[in-house]
Amino acid sequence: MAGDTGMARKVVLLLWAQTLGLAGTQTTWIIVEPPWMPAVLWDRVTLTCQGLGTTSATTWYKDGRRWGQQGHDRLTVTENGTYECNRTGSGLSPPMRVLDDWLVLQVPARPLLEGDTVTLRCRDQWNKLITWVSFYHEEKQLVELRNGTELILFPLKLQHGGHYRCRGWLKDRQWVVSAPVTVTVHAVAVNVGRTLLFLLLLLAVFGGCHCWHHHGSPGRKGQCWTPQIVGTEWADGPPWVSPSPAPPRDPQVTNAELSGPNEGQRDPCDYDDML
């Protein structure tokens, strides 16, 4: 099952950039380093524009206005704001926020899949001056941590999607609350291993049928060869078919737990004329 999940992640990563815009038409996106969203100004933040066209076709925008020199696909951030980039042929990217707030809640800058382990972190720009941190999901408090500043969701579920924020006490200052952050969870609905097995068997059936049609005896109707597995049994099914996943465990957080009949059969050869 782990191999299927890894393959599914690669597929989602490849498709993610095409699903960021409307109906998958937007293929320009921004890669942020460090890989956390929203980015914070007190980190050394670098934005890289990815999309169709050449580097010289890149234009950056900050808060809706053209920013920096045209023709550079990488930008080092020196001011807070909302950044976008445009590539000729693939359009405008989704916005990337860079904040300079006292308190910021960050999520990993990657697609989040069901079953993942995801860390949300609450950060202050004075570095570790915050205590009594609370995390909220859709305005409902999940947990309060006296010293911790991270919330771990495991295993990630669709119902974990939504708006999150954090609240904490800045030493010798006051209670502060972060801006809300949206967490989007992508469903993993395809078992890649079983799909590949089905396609291989299907190709074997039609390939054998095609071979007999072309190499069978003259005047003799073509015959189909169908693959068979003889003399082998498995107690839990063939080894290339992943077993059903175990029931998911309850989500966990740092230092706390969240409750969180068909009319006759057709000869497969009849389909050869369709190929």
Q: Mean pLDDT across the chain, nearest whole number?
A: 75
How would you classify the pairing of strands 130-137 and 39-40? unpaired
Q: Binning pLDDT at 50, 70 and 90, where does residue 31 land?
A: very high
What pLDDT digit, counting tens, does each position of 68-106 carry?
888 899 999 999 999 999 998 899 999 999 999 999 999
How would you classify the pairing of strands 96-99 and 39-40? parallel
Long-range contacts of 61-68 (CB under 8 A, 24+ apart): 61/85, 61/86, 61/92
Q: Which of 167-181, 188-202, 253-267 has the highest mean pLDDT?
A: 167-181
Place of tokens 């209670």: 175
Place of tokens 């693939």: 90
What dihedral do alpha carbons 58, 62, 68, 71 form, nearest 10°?
A: 0
What pLDDT digit, counting tens, does each position of 181-193 carry?
999 999 986 444 4
Domains of the chain by start residue, with CATH:
1-100 (2.60.40.10), 102-190 (2.60.40.10)
Least confident of 11-25, 131-145, 205-219: 11-25
Query: Is 60 exceeded by the pLDDT of residue 241?
Result: no
- What is the arithmetic mean of pLDDT over 136-152? 96
Pull the structure tokens for residue 260. 């969180």
- What is the arithmetic mean of pLDDT over 126-136? 90
Separation CA 20–CA 167 (nearest Å): 29
Separation CA 72–CA 60 (nearest Å): 8
Least confident of 107-111, 184-188, 199-203, 249-253: 249-253
